[in-house]
Amino acid sequence: MEQYQEPHTPQTDTGQFSSRLSESEGQGLHHQFRVGDEFFRLVLESLEEYAVFTTDTDGTISSWNSGAQRLLGYTEPDIIGKPFALIFTPEDIENHAPQGEFAQALQTGRGEDERYHVKKDGTLFWASGLLFPLFDSEKNLRGFTKIVRDLTEQKRAQQLIAEARAYAESIVETIREPLLVLDTDLRVVLANRAFYTTFHTTPQETEQQVVYTLGKGQWNIPALRHLLEAILSSATVFEDFRVEDEFPAIGKKVMLLNARTLSRETHDRELILLAFEDVTEQDRLQQMKDEFIRIVSHELKTPVTSLKGFAQLLLRRFQKQEDEQTAHILSRMDRQLTILSTLINDLLDVARLQRGKLLQKEEVFNLADLVRETVEDIQAITPTHHLVFEGDENAPVNGDRDRLGQVLINLLTNAIKYSPQAEKVAVHLVTEERFATVRVEDFGIGIATVHHEKVFEQYYQVTDQGTNSSGLGIGLYISNEIIQHHQGRMWVESTEGVGTTFTFSLPLHTERPSPQQ
C-alpha cells in the first residue's frame, strides 16, 4: 500500500476509486466500489454547499463533485490526477499541513481543520475541512475523502461581531462615568477605566466578582438588591437610584445609579449595564443654595411684613383725610408689597419642602367647600374674569387644607394671569371611584407641548409666551409637591392660543364618608 507522498511528486495513475470507476471494470477494487456508484454520485452532486472529493492513498485527487467545482473553481477534468495539496496555501504546504491532515485522519479516523484554502484563480477563502480515510472490505486503506465547507460568511460575521465588540468596549472605556457590565448572576463581566479610578480598585478585585461583594460590600444595599432583581425579572430600567455612603477608599460620596438590561438576540445570557454618577459636589452646591435661599427669605419676611403693615396704616390715614392721590400711591405700594411677600413665602415654602416641613396639619374636610371658597375669594379681587365653579358638592379628602387651598390659589391666579384676553375661568370638581378630581380651565395663551412636563420643575418659566411674569417659576413646583405629598397626581393639558387646563386628583377619604363641614 502506498502512503501519502509529497504532493509535488508527479502522478500518473489518477486513482482507483474515481467517480469514473465504472469505466474501469475488471479490477477487484473497482468492483467493490461500483455498487451503488450512480446513487453515490447523485448524493455527492446534490451537496451543492459542500466540496466533496476523494484522493488516492498518496493524495492524488480521484473524484470531484459539483460543489467542489463551484467552491474551488476547478472542473473535474482539470483536477483529477492533481495533488490534493493544490488547494492549500503555500505557507500551509511549507508547514506540511496536508500531510498533517492525512496523519490525523489515519490516527483518529477523521482529520479536521479550519483554514484558508486556495481557489483555481488564486483567491483565498476561509473553510472548514473534514478528512476521512476510506477502507475496503479487507480493511486496506484505499484513499481519503474530504469535505470542504465555505465559511467566508461565518468568518465575516465573526469579524463584524469582534469589531462591534471592540467598538462597544472602546466606548465603554472612554465614558467618564464609572460603568459595570453585569451578568444575570450579578457578576462583573466588564468594568471601565473610570470605575477603577473612581473607586480606587483593580480588575483583580472587580472582575468576576458579584456586585454586592465589591468594595467591602458597599453595594450590598437591600434597596439596590431589590432594584437589580426587579430589572432582571422584568427587563426594565431604573434611573437615579441614590446611594449616600462612606466609600472605603474615597470617603463620603453621593452616587446616582442607573441601570438597564442589554437585550440580546439570544436571551440565554442577558447583561446589565450599571452606571454610577458622582453627584457629591452637585449636592453640596444645591444644599448651599437652598440654605442661602432659606436664610434670605426668612430674613426678608419680617421687614416686608412690617412695611406692608405701615403702608396699610398710612393708606387708611390718607383715605380718611381724602387725599386721593397719596392714597392711590400707597395702594399701589401695598400691591407691590403683596407680590413681594408672595415671592418670599414661595421661597420659604421651597425651603420647608426640602426639609420635609411643608405639610403641617392633617384633617378630613370637604374639598368641594375649599374649592368654592377659594373661587369666591379670588373672584372678590378679580374684576377682569368671571370664575365659574361647577361639579360635585361632596368630596371628603384627608390632608392639609391650607396647603391645598394654596394649590388652588396658584392655579386660579395663573389661569387669570396667563389669559389676559379671556373673560372666563372654569373650575370643575368630579368624584369618581376613589378619587376627587379638580380641573382649572382657562382660555388664554396656552403652553407649548415641549414645556408640559417641565412647568412642574423648580424655577421653570416658559420663555416663549411673550409675557413678563412677576413670578419665580416655583408656584407649580410647590403645588405639584403638595399634591404628591397627598398621594395625588397633577398634570396639564394645553394648546397654544386656545387655553390651558391644570388638573389634580386626590384620593377620597373613605373611612368616614361625607363629613359635610
The residues of the shown chain that bind ligand ADP, judged by CB under 6 A, are 410, 414-415, 418, 442, 444-445, 447, 455, 460-462, 465, 469, 471-477, 500
Residue 464 in grid coordinates: 416663549
DSSP 355: T
* CB of 283 or CB of 457, closer to ligand ADP: 457
| Cβ proximity of 494 and 501 under 8 Å | yes
Beta bridge partners of 141: 135
Nearest CB to ligand ADP, comparing residues 258 and 413: 413
Please identify, using beta-carbon distances, which residue of 19 and 414 lies nearer to ligand ADP: 414
HEC profile for 22-84?
A: HHHCCCHHHHHHHCCHHHHHHHHHHCCCEEEEEECCCCEEEEECHHHHHHHCCCHHHHCCCEH
Minimum Å distance from CB 271 to ligand ADP? 41
**Sequential DSSP letters for 482-502:** HHHHTT-EEEEEEETTTEEEE
Write down the least CB distance from residue 386 to ligand ADP, Å: 16
Residue 256, SS3 per DSSP? strand
Cβ-based nearer residue to ligand ADP, 24 or 458: 458
Q: How far is the CB of 472 from ligand ADP (least distance, A)?
A: 6
Rounded to a whole number of angstroms, the minimum distance from the CB of residue 347 to ligand ADP is: 11
Read off the C-alpha cell for 120: 483555481
Smallest gap from residue 427 Cβ to ligand ADP (A): 13
Please identify, using beta-carbon distances, which residue of 337 and 415 lies nearer to ligand ADP. Answer: 415
Pick between residue 58 and residue 346 the one whose CB is nearest to ligand ADP. 346
Shortest CB 480 distance to ligand ADP, Å: 9
Residue 486 Cβ vs ligand ADP, minimum distance, rounded to whole Å? 18
CB of 10 or CB of 497, closer to ligand ADP: 497
Residue number of the CB closest to ligand ADP reads 471
Those residues whose C-beta lies under 8 Å from the C-beta of residue 158, and which sit 6 or more positions away, are: none
Closest approach, Cβ 193 to ligand ADP, in A, equals 42
Task: Give the sign of the dihedral formed by CA 207, CA 211, CA 213, CA 218.
Answer: positive
All three cell numbers of 315, joined, read 393708606
Nearer to ligand ADP, 209 or 469 (CB): 469
How many whole angstroms separate alpha carbon 193 and alpha carbon 182?
16
Give residues with Cβ within 8 angstroms of 274, minimum separation 6: 179, 180, 181, 182, 211, 257, 258, 259
Rounded-to-integer distance, Cα 79 and Cα 59, Å: 12
